[in-house]
Amino acid sequence: MDPVGEIYDDLPLPPYVSAEDVVFALRAISVHTPEQRPDGQRCRKDQAAHPCRLHRWGRHVLQKRGLTGGQIQTLLTGGTVVLR
């Protein structure tokens, strides 16, 4: 799929990011992880090209909440981050 198609294929973001959205986003990122295949990286859960729609959605939600890549990784590994 071309990059323009990916933009239109993305899931809509919530108007504001609640604590529940953060939980769903972390779940989406942790479940839809990359897996190396002969044809490139694929999503382990749905076999789509990685990052898949749900993984992208989760990252975008957390970034909208103001989290950095390092903070997202900390949360995924079981650490704590103060959310404002």
Structure-token pair, residue 76 = 């995924």
Give residue 10's pLDDT: 85
Q: In which residue are the tokens 């604590």 written?
A: 19
Give residue 61's pLDDT: 96
pTM, full prediction: 0.82
Give residue 48's pLDDT: 94
* Three-state secondary-structure class, residue 82: coil
Kindly give the confidence (pLDDT) of every residue in the chain, 84 residues in length, as a single tens digit, with 9 standing for 90 and above.
445 445 567 889 999 999 999 999 999 999 999 999 999 999 999 999 999 999 999 999 999 999 999 999 998 888 887 776
Domain boundaries, the chain: 3-76
Residues 64 and 54: beta-carbon distance below 8 Å: no
Give residue 82's pLDDT: 76
